[in-house]
Structure 1
Amino acid sequence: ICVYLEVLLQGGAPWGFTLKGGLEHGEPLIISKIEEGGKADLLNSKLQAGDEVVNINEVELSSSRREAISLVKGSYKNLKLVVRR
């Protein structure tokens, strides 16, 4: 079963997660690590390592890691993610 979750992180970077994979590696863009006590960890929705990031701040991703990182870095106060679990 494929579940889509929308997650809103607030308060600015660091957001508390790392990404791996992406188009450049011929893989989906996956959250590889959640920093303990970081913003992504404190959410009720609880992002998980292994979640696939499909959308950042309403932008449908091409799965490029570089694109995703620039969108994340460009997020000033809020970061909205849609992930597929």
Structure 2
Amino acid sequence: AFSVELYVEVFLQGGAPWGFTLKGGLEHGAPLVISKVEEGGKAALLKNRLQVGDEVVSINEVELCGSRQEAISLVKGSYKTLKLIVLRYSNMSYSSYHEKEHSV
């Protein structure tokens, strides 16, 4: 009961490289998530930046079926702007709970 789900809209401008890496996807039997955000890259410089672990829900208004291949082709097809909607699980209360659990 610790995680909170947030939908976050991320709007990137200026063209590739966008500065993030995807992992998972239907092909791998896992959710499609952001596995890396390049420091200093476009995705890191936003006020509302992407975070590792964000699950990609839609790209440029196209709702994804969870396939990494589909996501990559949509990203590659983005010319000047890229709009992502990601699902973020916020575990803030969980981490503080975790620390208490380990104090001896």
Q: How many residues align?
A: 85
Tell whether 2:18 aligns with 1:15.
yes
The alignment partner of 2:57 has SS state of strand
User: How do 1:17-56 residues align onto structure 2 when only pairs under 5 Å count?
Assistant: 17-56=20-59
Q: Could you report, residue by residue, the CA deviation over 1:14-70 in whole angstroms, capped at 9, with x for unpaired residues? A: 000000000000111000000010000000001100000000000000000000000
- What residue ranges of structure 1 are gaps of 5+ in the alignment? none
Structure label with greater radius of gyration: 2
Question: What is the DSSP-based 3-state SS (H/G/I as helix, E as strand, rest coil) of the residue aligned with 1:28?
Answer: strand
Give the TM-score of the pair, scaled to structure 2.
Answer: 0.81
2:73 is the counterpart of 1:74: no
**Taking every aligned residue pair, what percent have the same amino acid on both sides?**
76
Alignment counterpart, residue 7 of structure 2, candidates 4, 7, 14? 4
Q: Aligned-pair RMSD on alpha carbons?
A: 0.4
What is the CA–CA distance in structure 2 between the aligned matches of 1:13 and 1:47, rounded to whole Å?
Answer: 15
**Which structure dedicates a bigger proportion of its chain to helix?**
2
Q: Which residue of 1 aligns with 2:100?
A: none
Letter in 2 for 1:74: G
Structure 2 portions without partners, runs of 5+: 89-104
